[in-house]
Amino acid sequence: MSSQPSLPPTEQDLLDQERIRREKLARLRSSGVDPYPPRVERTHTISQVRELFQQQQLDEEERVALVGRMISRRVMGKLSFAHIDDGTGRLQIMVRRDVLGAEPYNQFFKKDLDLGDFIGVKGKMTLTRTGEVTCLVEEITLLAKALKPLPAKWHGLSDPELRQRQRYLDLLANPDVRERFRVRAKIVRALREYLDGEGFLEVETPILQPVYGGAAAEPFVTYHNYLHQKLYLRISFELYLKRLLVGGYDRVYEIGRDFRNEGISRKHNPEFTQLEFYEAYTDYHGVMRRTEEMLAYVVERVTGGLKITWQGHDIDFTPPWPRIPLRQAILEASGIDYDQFPDAESLRMAMREKGMDAPSEASRGKLIDKLLSHFVEPNLIQPTFLIDYPLDVSPLAKRKPGTKDIVERFEGFVAGMEICNAFSELNDPLDQLERFLAQGRALEAGDKEATPVDMDYINALSYGMPPAGGFGMGIDRFTMLLTDQDNIREVILFPHLRPEKRDQDGAS
RNA sequence: GGGCCGGUAGCUCAGUUGGCAGAGCAGCGGACUUUUAAUCCGCGGGUCGCAGGUUCGAUUCCUGCCCGGCUCACCA
């Protein structure tokens, strides 16, 4: 939901600066200038022309046509300098009255153009006395007039609300933000490169689902008006992707949006981008090796090395990463060995003795998860796998042989954050049905994050699913790591924000 | 939802122990042919988040509300 100024502004609502720009617009129109012409002339991008000029591959007399937003202007009498930005880079232009002509220079360039306007220039490339690559302008045209002043010159824009509600202003005022989302795109591209290269098939599965599942989360609910059908926005891709393993694909992946109806925090946005892959004929050990290899590939591809700095921590993605049994990690960090507390009640007592908040309705698995997030997770700065999780919070994972309530599952942690979750996939249809039924009972008992029974999925498993390992990773969180950000909103272009409420009295 | 901090010009911020509201940038007028945070002279610009209250007087103090940030709880 974007915030919209609800009505077009009336003349008196306009800022002085906006009023002045509209007057300039009217003046331009009456002098026959189209302030929003349909076409532009361009021979090079700014990055191209800069490169060609520096490599001396540009004829000295060659006339180039460049475009961009005017982001600064320094008028010094009969000579001016300005910078334009076309999205590929910034370039200085030099505008001289004796070259451009008196009228275009005095009136058009100095008076009618404003910072923020898009312009086209034609001229020759040159160096200034200080050695800056510059276009000496012979002709200048308006490509699009800006009616509002740009947020800032060198302070950038820092108001967090403006930055996120009006991300376009953030992007145009803060070059490092623009760069950050380029890094995000590189990350996604590198993940695809890796998986495609390993023979994974990229697929798309339904976002609107009649039965949701695959994760512990509350869904968003919607409705199909013509089918009279209740639908859920997916909370994971898992159950559909594994149906594809049944169908005969051996390696599939999907990158897309998940939706979870939960609180918003530094690490959580209600919709987030997830990568899931499923690989037949491997198990969670194989997936761990693949995770290390894949993430090392991506980090190398994006940053040029395997070491990054995040919020002052040096983090090294070089494989292999330590694998620590969850039980051991929790024991070492908290002094609680949950194996000695076989039921929720006794574990709860032990936790409360340590002064921890342990809600009465939480299952044993959820309590263990609480121990993990409280004692262990914040200290896992270097890439680490925690392995072997409690069964009751892992309804889709295969039981570890020789155990009763432990599954072959791991989670990957970096920088004190969980970034991925994976397991040997449960492919026993009868066991899966039992687990679903347990989930269904939990759901009815009020656990809003339990998932309903998916009989079609059981049916699919009943035709046989190969042994497989599966993996899920939050791309947003991974992007936080590689862009040195500690808030998920900084790596999502349009993060979810509370609706903007208009003042009851201030309205009108 | 609880706690803490904040909201002052288009942007970034200062300030008022309660007494005419400030700076830099941006804007407007002027000077200036190698600047790059250009410089110099002059000018305009404010519902001090909103609403009540206390007061001779509130941007400042009090109460409520709105919005935001951090944090706790919850979660990926």
Residues of chain A within CATH 2.40.50.140 domain(s) are 9-144
User: Six-digit token pair at A64?
Assistant: 């180039």
Pick out the nucleotide with least CA–C1' distance to A259: B76
| pTM for the model | 0.90
Pick out the nucleotide with least CA–C1' distance to A19: B27
**Residue A36 is which amino acid?**
Y
Q: For A345 and B2, how far is CA from C1' in angstroms?
A: 27
Q: For A22 and B72, how far is CA from C1' in angstroms?
A: 49
CA A82 to chain centre: 34
User: Six-digit token pair at A25?
Assistant: 């617009």
> Given this model, what pLDDT does residue A384 score?
95
Mean pLDDT score, A213-241: 92
Pick out the nucleotide with least CA–C1' distance to A215: B76
What percent of chain A has a predicted confidence (pLDDT) above 70? Answer: 94
DSSP string for residues in A248-304: T-SEEEEEEEEE-----BTTB-SEEEEEEEEEET--HHHHHHHHHHHHHHHHHHHHS
Pick out the nucleotide with least CA–C1' distance to A72: B36
Question: Could you give the CA distance from residue A429 to residue A21 in angstroms, rounded to a whole number?
Answer: 69
The most confident of A148-162, A254-268, A278-292, A474-488, by mean pLDDT: A278-292
Pick out the nucleotide with least CA–C1' distance to A16: B45
Looking only at the bridges linking them, the beta strands covering A251-259 and A201-202 are parallel
Mean pLDDT score, A401-423: 93
Statement: residue A4 has pLDDT above 50: no
**Residue A121 is which amino acid?**
V
> Given this model, what pLDDT does residue A508 score?
25
> Given this model, what pLDDT does residue A9 score?
42
Protein residue at shortest CA distance from C1' of B74: A263
Torsion over CA: A363, A364, A366, A371 (sign):
positive
Question: Could you give the CA distance from residue A153 to residue A431 in angstroms, rounded to a whole number?
Answer: 63
Q: For A149 and B26, how far is CA from C1' in angstroms?
A: 8
Alpha-carbon Rg for chain A, nearest whole angstrom, is: 29
Instruction: Provide the ipTM.
Output: 0.84
* Phi and psi torsions of A456, nearest 5°: -65, -35
User: Six-digit token pair at A437?
Assistant: 């039924």
Q: For A507 and B7, how far is CA from C1' in angstroms?
A: 18
Statement: residue A19 has pLDDT above 80: yes
Q: Which residue has the higher pLDDT, A17 or A426?
A: A426
Q: For A476 and B68, how far is CA from C1' in angstroms?
A: 23
Per-residue pLDDT of A297-336, as tens digits, reads 999 999 999 999 998 889 999 999 999 999 999 999 888 8
Q: For A155 and B24, how far is CA from C1' in angstroms?
A: 10
Statement: residue A503 has pLDDT above 50: no
Give the up-direction half-sphere exposure of residue A249: CA atoms within 13 A in the CB hemisphere. 17
Query: What architecture is the A9-144 domain classified under in CATH?
Result: Beta Barrel (2.40)
- CB A367 within 8 Å of CB A347: yes
Q: For A166 and B5, how far is CA from C1' in angstroms?
A: 24
For strand B, the positions having any atom within 7 A of a protein Cβ are 1, 10-13, 24-29, 31-39, 44-45, 47, 49-51, 66-76
pLDDT grade, residue A157 (50/70/90)?
confident
pLDDT grade, residue A152 (50/70/90)?
low
Mean pLDDT score, A368-385: 90
Give the up-direction half-sphere exposure of residue A145: CA atoms within 13 A in the CB hemisphere. 22
Residue A5: asked if its preceding bond is cis (omega within 30°), the reply is no
Statement: residue A5 has pLDDT above 50: no
Q: What is the mean pLDDT of chain A?
A: 89
- CB A220 within 8 Å of CB A261: yes
Let me know the angle formed at the C-alpha of A463 by A460 and A467, rounded to the nearest 5 degrees: 90
Q: For A16 and B27, how far is CA from C1' in angstroms?
A: 8
Q: For A105 and B38, how far is CA from C1' in angstroms?
A: 19
Question: Could you give the CA distance from residue A258 to residue A312 in angstroms, rounded to a whole number?
Answer: 30
Q: For A159 and B8, how far is CA from C1' in angstroms?
A: 14
Question: Could you count the other beta carbons within 10 Å of the beta carbon of residue A424?
Answer: 23
Q: For A95 and B42, how far is CA from C1' in angstroms?
A: 26
pLDDT grade, residue A239 (50/70/90)?
very high
> Given this model, what pLDDT does residue A24 score?
93
Let me know the angle formed at the C-alpha of A458 by A455 and A460, rounded to the nearest 5 degrees: 110
Does residue A111 sit in helix, strand or coil? Answer: helix
Mean pLDDT score, A214-233: 91
Residue A322: asked if its preceding bond is cis (omega within 30°), the reply is no
pLDDT grade, residue A7 (50/70/90)?
very low
> Given this model, what pLDDT does residue A393 score?
87
Domain A172-322+382-497 has CATH 3.30.930.10: yes
Mean pLDDT score, A424-449: 91
* Cα separation values, A495 from A157, A161, A191, A256, Å: 17, 11, 22, 15
> Given this model, what pLDDT does residue A159 score?
77
Residues of chain A within CATH 3.30.930.10 domain(s) are 172-322+382-497
Pick out the nucleotide with least CA–C1' distance to A97: B33
DSSP string for residues in A425-450: BP--HHHHHHHHHHHHHHHHTT-TTS
pLDDT grade, residue A419 (50/70/90)?
very high
Protein residue at shortest CA distance from C1' of B27: A17
Pick out the nucleotide with least CA–C1' distance to A80: B35
Nearest to A273 by CA among A75, A124, A476: A476
Mean pLDDT score, A139-152: 89
Pick out the nucleotide with least CA–C1' distance to A262: B75
